[in-house]
Structure 1
């Protein structure tokens, strides 16, 4: 019984594992740099999703066990429907969480830009005031 799984994310070409020297390949112009944090996050996401698929299949079998009078085909159909519903719900939960994270990230980025603009305005004002205070006495005495 295979559960409905999310399709894997599109990825670029995989880099060579090793060069002839036996060392891992270094950065090259034709290959983008790999972000280890991003790769770890992808691996964690993959493992979490696989755990969810396995739990859904396990729970589907336990649910179908409540109906011993079902034939093999009906039992398989019930397990598949249960697994599909559970994974569809899990996808919706993940999608809502991702949407909320993106909305919060956009909000925080906008707030940071606003704060940085205010600080830049304050710093420029102070620099202008200091320059003005340095020039005015020279102009008045001059």
Structure 2
């Protein structure tokens, strides 16, 4: 069937930090840095997409087998249309999941900032109260 489909486009990959060795001409500072976690995630994504493409093609062949009277060209067109629709749907599912993950991450970051601000206010209040209580006896006796 017309070759492999392209995997979904990269979704706002974070810029990678360079490793510094302090030596001029070191390939680790001259070229792009390698982030093993990011590379593993990319490999996992690639393998997952290839598995989806294979499953879509397999299911397209199984679907086309239901119509034995189709001419070879019509069968190939049906398989390609089925595969394209399935992969388009899979990409939409991935896009929705990525959007949901980003929304949750933003929500959790905001909640974390709120909790940290509350703790900072509480700690400052306790420190202020302790300082006030420590200074109060000296002020009353003096």
Q: Give TM-score, length-normalised by structure 1.
A: 0.80
- Per-residue displacement from partner, 1:45-86 (whole Å, max 9, x unpaired)? 110000000110111111111111111111111010000000
Alpha-carbon shift at residue 5 of structure 1 (Å):
2.2
2:108, 2:32 → 1: CA distance? 28
For structure 1, the residue ranges without an aligned partner over 5 or more in a row are: 13-24
Quote the residue 1:20 is aligned against: none
Q: Given that residues 3 and 83 in structure 1 are in contact (C-alpha distance below 8 angstroms), is that contact kept between their aligned partners in structure 2? A: no
- Per-residue displacement from partner, 1:72-122 (whole Å, max 9, x unpaired)? 111111010000000011111111111111111111111111111000000
Count, aligned residues: 129
Q: Given that residues 5 and 53 in structure 1 are in contact (C-alpha distance below 8 angstroms), is that contact kept between their aligned partners in structure 2? A: no
2:47, 2:115 → 1: CA distance? 38
For structure 2, the residue ranges without an aligned partner over 5 or more in a row are: 16-25
* Ranges of 4+ aligned residues in structure 1 off by more than 6 Å: none
Q: Give TM-score, length-normalised by structure 2.
A: 0.80
Q: Given that residues 8 and 91 in structure 2 are in contact (C-alpha distance below 8 angstroms), is that contact kept between their aligned partners in structure 1? A: no
**Cα RMSD, aligned residues only:** 2.2
Alpha-carbon shift at residue 27 of structure 1 (Å):
4.4
Query: Does 2:60 align with 1:84?
Result: no
Q: How does 1:1-142 map to 2 (within 5 A)?
A: 1=1, 2-6=3-7, 9=10, 27-28=28-29, 30-31=30-31, 33-142=33-142
RCO higher in 1 or 2 (8 Å CA, sep ≥ 6)? 1
